[in-house]
Amino acid sequence: MLAIKEKSLAEIFEEFVLERDIDLPVFPSIITGLQKLLEDENAPIDKIAQLIYRDQALAANILQMANSPYFSALKKIETIRDAIIRLGSDQVVNLCISAQQQTLHKSKNPKIDMYLKKLWYHAIGVAAGARWLARKIHYGHLAEVAFLAGLMHDVGRLHLLRVMEELINDGHPITETVLDETLWALHCKHGYTLAKKWNLPDVYAEVILHHNEMLYQSPIPEYNLILKIVQTTDAVCQKMGLQCTTSSIPFSARSATDIGITELVVAELEVYIDDSGLCNPKPAVR
């Protein structure tokens, strides 16, 4: 066991990863297959639905999410085919990813489970808010990109919490303050590593790596736009208490006025997130 008294948790974490050769989560093959299938504009809807139904748990999760405030379905969606027709293929892919991500935010360790649940509500809150914001400022064609960027922006925290779970199981005493500080210090770096392992498009990797750098400017205008949308929504969610840890970044809407994010738009975003019920989630039924 590593000597915790002589090293910071960050150092212990890095060595622990090297010693244990902890595997990063694998991007689910069903989503990769779905993305390839949807590259064909003429792909039959039933064929797409059939692929999703191969994973019954995933299909059930998708239907539950399709009828949630996050996706704002106008009528109850009862089948995967309905979801594809009403929501569109891009949104269905994001539903698949959301449903898969939700399953990873659970732990048998009460402390880690609490963080994972908070992290999930933060992730889905930023995702839904980023989609709304993209549409609000007239970048509707990027709404689903903004959603997925928001969903994945803190994926490094997910990996860190999984490793910390093993550290706690190994007997390392980790206080809430130290855990918060370590998550804050390392999550962007490790999230970027995960994005590269998953071969995510560069726009998502860039958001994951730079979302806490308020002065960062991407050389690619579209990436910069998505980054500012996620940063704005991230800050609003944190301000409203929808956050995983106590560490946060200062943000002013003035830094994003060049893409149409004004103080009024931010206020409307707060109302949207509040109305969605994300800030006061109902307890799970057991």
What average pLDDT does range 5-10 have in this prediction?
A: 60
Mean per-residue pLDDT over the chain, rounded: 80
Query: Are the CB atoms for 13 and 186 separated by under 8 Å?
Result: yes
pLDDT for 3 equals 44
Q: Residue 180: is its pLDDT beyond 90? A: no
- Give the C-alpha distances (Å, rounded to integers) separating 41 from 45, 53, 90, 200, 264: 10, 20, 12, 21, 38
> What six digits make up the tokens of 48?
């797409």
∠129-133-134 over CA atoms, to 5°? 120
What average pLDDT does range 150-171 have in this prediction?
A: 86
Residue at 155: amino acid letter: V
What average pLDDT does range 125-143 have in this prediction?
A: 92
Residue 104 or 121, more confident? 121
pLDDT tens, position by position, 20-66:
545 555 566 777 777 778 777 778 888 888 888 777 767 777 787 77
pLDDT tens, position by position, 160-169:
888 888 888 8
Q: Residue 1: is its pLDDT beyond 50? A: no
Residue at 282: amino acid letter: K
pLDDT for 206 equals 94
Which one, of 45, 135, 129, 133, lies nearest residue 86 by Cα?
45
Q: What is the CATH number of domain 9-275?
A: 1.10.3210.10
Q: Among all chains, which residue has been given the structure tokens 């975003």?
A: 269
> What six digits make up the tokens of 177?
């303050």
pLDDT for 26 equals 54
Structural domain boundaries of the chain? 9-275
Q: Residue 214: is its pLDDT beyond 60? A: yes
* Dist. CA 38–CA 31, nearest whole Å: 10
pLDDT tens, position by position, 71-104:
655 678 888 888 888 778 788 888 788 877 777 7
Residue 17 or 43, more confident? 43
